[in-house]
Structure 1
Amino acid sequence: MSCTDKFPPHLRELVKSSKYVHVATCSRDCVPTVSLMNYIYVPADKTYENNKDENAYIVFATLTNTEKYRNICANPKVSLLFHDWITAKSLSVRKHSLSQSPTPDQPEPSEHPSKLLNLLQELNQAELFQMSANLRGQATVIDPNNGESKYYKDLLLKVNPDAHVFIQGDNTVLVKVQIESAKVSDAENNTSVYN
């Protein structure tokens, strides 16, 4: 049984539907780093070649010249943070700001060249959440020359078409994370653990 099969519906929905995940990795020398990533959630029945005995995975792409990639190769234990922004469902990456007018010390909003930057600024202004989930797991770099890599890359591009520049690069590899546990906290500081 996959660890995610034990998740309550609201946690499973958060993992399935979030746009981004924060991926924390650590070097062999215990130097941490965190990256904001596009990803896909792949349930056990949708894994490569439909291996129904496998666990569910979080899959993301990374460049081979990054600290994140080097960390995963040296230490495959990772932590994934999913945050449920209650305003995220109504945000548009094309909006300038959440507020109708700027504050006196705030300049007029301007269009940002990065949709991701625009979204992050809106989320930071909102600072509202219902729950956050910290999932831990084992990361595996997928051989870019096999069918599994193509299968997951196609899924990743289908779900994240605006992230093709991060997914289709020459030195890009895919990483799949087998989820081993989750710790969930809500706005009232209630915490639940799932193994």
Structure 2
Amino acid sequence: MDQIALHHEASAGDTNRQVVNQLPPEVVQCLENARFLNLATCTNNQPTVSLMNFTYLPSSQYSPEPVIVMTTNSSSKKTHNIVANPNVSLLVHDWVSHRPPTQTRRPSGGSPGPEHRSSLASVLMNLNSGEISRISATINGTAELVAQGSDEEKFFREQHLENNTFDTEASTMPFGSRQLQAEQGAGQDDGGRESFIAGEEVRVIVVRIKDIRTSDWKGGVSDWVLVNEGVPAAVNGVK
């Protein structure tokens, strides 16, 4: 089997560092294309990662800077983590993940080889091969719980609800989408949106972006530092 040439760049330092006053276009496209992201919070050296619906807003009357909006139950682990430690990381990508066939069958069965792969699986694999040239983005920022009952909370909640209202019925969504809706209140006509976005116990989270690390599938990485005039630049939260 021909090996795909990969390259590796050290990810601990300032790799291809660029200081910008707006998000790079490729990161914006990634945020606009992706349906979900992974939110990492941490307290007492115990990290927690959650799969989240999100809304990207390039600017608003409440923030001239780009923000990412999410919602969570007031009693959730991530809510308590954010109160104790507002520093968060987000991982977002817009390609479809597909496991390629292994060279040998594993005891558990492993991935099917080419001779066992259905035509549909082959099509999906080919589609993924075409998409895999896109980036993933790790975004570091500061999260805050918007004041309950405020106009700001109402605005961000409405934007988030609108961004997560789809024409597609839940029955035709990918399994991951259906599973997340089930966990967050599926079974309602709105697919659970009223439960996980508009419910009385739901808090609105706004993440203000500090820096971004982009990575392509060959291991190439770049650092993007988002700054305002007069604010010292930082990479991965370190000035």
Question: TM-score scaled to structure 2, two decimals?
Answer: 0.59
Residue number in structure 1 paired with 2:8: none
Give the one of 14, 36, 58 matched to 1:20: 36
Cα 1:17/1:164, change in 2 over 3 Å: farther
Residue number in structure 2 paired with 1:150: 154
Give the one of 82, 85, 88 matched to 2:95: 85
- Identical-residue share of aligned pairs (%): 30
Equivalent-residue separation in structure 2 for 1:76 and 1:64 (angstroms): 15
Check the 8 A contact 1:82/1:133 in 2, yes or no: yes
Give the one of 196, 204, 207 matched to 1:177: 207
Matches within 5 A, 1:23-34: 23-27=39-43, 29-34=44-49
Check the 8 A contact 1:4/1:179 in 2, yes or no: no
Give the one of 194, 200, 219 matched to 1:164: 194
Question: TM-score scaled to structure 1, two decimals?
Answer: 0.71
Q: Unaligned regions of 5+ residues in structure 1, if any?
A: 89-102, 105-121
Q: Unaligned regions of 5+ residues in structure 2, if any?
A: 1-18, 99-115, 118-123, 166-190, 226-239
Residue number in structure 1 paired with 2:68: 58
In the TM superposition, residue 4 of structure 1 has moved relative to its aligned partner by: 7.2
Equivalent-residue separation in structure 1 for 2:36 and 2:20 (angstroms): 18
Name the amino acid aligned to 1:77: N
Which segment drifts farther, 33-42 or 12-21? Answer: 12-21
Equivalent-residue separation in structure 2 for 1:6 and 1:147 (angstroms): 26
Equivalent-residue separation in structure 2 for 1:159 and 1:4 (angstroms): 27
Check the 8 A contact 1:139/1:176 in 2, yes or no: yes
In the TM superposition, residue 55 of structure 1 has moved relative to its aligned partner by: 1.4
Name the amino acid aligned to 1:151: F
> Which secondary structure does the structure 1 equivalent of 2:219 belong to?
coil
Equivalent-residue separation in structure 2 for 1:22 and 1:86 (angstroms): 15
Higher relative contact order (Cα pairs below 8 Å, separated by 6+ residues):
2
Equivalent-residue separation in structure 2 for 1:17 and 1:131 (angstroms): 12
> Which secondary structure does the structure 1 equivalent of 2:141 belong to?
strand
In the TM superposition, residue 9 of structure 1 has moved relative to its aligned partner by: 1.3
Check the 8 A contact 1:6/1:194 in 2, yes or no: no
In the TM superposition, residue 51 of structure 1 has moved relative to its aligned partner by: 4.9
Check the 8 A contact 2:33/2:94 in 1, yes or no: no
Matches within 5 A, 1:27-42: 27=43, 29-42=44-57
More strand by share: 1
For the pair shown, which has the larger CA radius of gyration, 1 or 2? 2
Cα 1:4/1:144, change in 2 over 3 Å: farther
Q: Would you say how many aligned residue pairs link Structure 1 and Structure 2?
A: 155
Cα 1:74/1:51, change in 2 over 3 Å: closer
Check the 8 A contact 1:183/1:193 in 2, yes or no: yes
Equivalent-residue separation in structure 2 for 1:17 and 1:149 (angstroms): 25
